[in-house]
């Protein structure tokens, strides 16, 4: 039996009050997706609203093209699967071996405070199953609590998009909060390297990455955990 993984994407497409669009970052979906697919995992895609999750148009710019995004561009089957994500309300932890959240700015507005997503992550952790998140998607961990009612990230090594990276993309005043600040507020042992460098860290069942360059590393760590 192949292992089953749930990938949860944002349904939010508005970049604050700017009039610009956001969503999920293509690289942060595509690179992990193919790590999992090539390893033979059975992948289910979900989002809060179901259907096609919004792609951040910035992530499709030439500067951000990678081998994984090129593969995705030519992959009609995966695009079809993505267009038909299941509604988050319909999924249960018991049906999967792991859960993974791609980033992009979208999750800051929906998944970070989505009660179904928070409960789902709590269920995965309680069942001793790994949770992966990269870049802005580390925000999905913020309000997750353990059985004792403590923040799940308290005392845990966690990474996510840095304050300085947010400043570099000039969105510090647009986003509802800064991932780095909020993780630290909840007692996380927040870890990072220089801006835009690949960095992923695992602490127990929580596996997180700093930025788009880190997405494949997070996926590989999660896969290694599953295969251990």
Backbone angles phi, psi at 179, to 5 degrees: -55, -50
**Digit-coded pLDDT (tens) for 179-214:** 999 999 999 999 999 999 999 999 999 999 999 999
Q: Enumerate the β-bridge partners of residue 151.
A: 145
pLDDT, average across residues 37-66: 97
Please determine, for residue 71, whether its predicted confidence score (pLDDT) is greater than 90. yes
Averaged pLDDT, 147-168: 98
Q: What percent of the chain has pLDDT over 90?
A: 100
User: Tell me, what's the pLDDT at 147?
Assistant: 93
What is the number of other CB atoms lying within 10 angstroms of the CB of residue 131?
23
Residue with the two structure tokens 């500067």: 63
For residue 38, the SS3 value is: helix
Residue 1 reports pLDDT greater than 90 = no
Mean pLDDT of the chain: 98
Percent of the chain exceeding pLDDT 70 equals 100
pLDDT in tens, 103-114: 999 999 999 999
Query: In what helix (H) or strand (E) does residue 69 lie, and over which residues does it extend?
Result: helix 67-73
State the angle between helix axes of 215-227 and 26-38 in degrees (0 to 180), rounded to the nearest 10: 30
Contact 46, 91 (CB under 8 A): yes
For range 152-176, the mean pLDDT = 98
Average pLDDT over residues 56-78: 97
């Amino acid at each position: 039996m192949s292992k089953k993984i749930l990938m949860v994407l944002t349904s939010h497409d508005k970049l604050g009050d700017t009039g610009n669009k956001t969503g999920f970052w293509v690289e942060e979906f595509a690179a992990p997706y193919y790590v999992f697919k090539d390893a033979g995992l059975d992948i289910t895609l979900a989002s809060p609203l179901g259907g096609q999750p919004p792609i951040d148009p910035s992530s499709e710019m030439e500067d951000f093209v990678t081998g994984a995004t090129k593969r995705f561009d030519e992959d009609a089957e995966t695009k079809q699967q993505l267009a038909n994500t299941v509604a988050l309300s319909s999924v249960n932890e018991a049906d999967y071996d792991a859960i993974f959240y791609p980033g992009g700015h979208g999750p800051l507005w929906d998944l970070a405070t989505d009660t179904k997503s928070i409960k789902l992550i709590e269920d995965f952790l309680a069942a001793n199953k790994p949770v992966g998140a990269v870049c802005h998607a580390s925000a999905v961990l913020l309000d997750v609590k353990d059985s004792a009612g403590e923040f799940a990230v308290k005392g845990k090594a966690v990474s996510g998009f840095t304050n300085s990276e947010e400043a570099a993309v000039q969105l510090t005043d647009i986003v509802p909060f800064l991932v780095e600040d909020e993780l630290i507020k909840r007692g996380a042992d927040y870890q990072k390297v220089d801006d835009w460098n690949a960095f992923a860290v695992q602490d127990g069942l929580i596996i997180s990455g700093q930025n788009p360059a880190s997405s494949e590393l997070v996926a590989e760590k999660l896969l290694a955990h599953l295969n251990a």
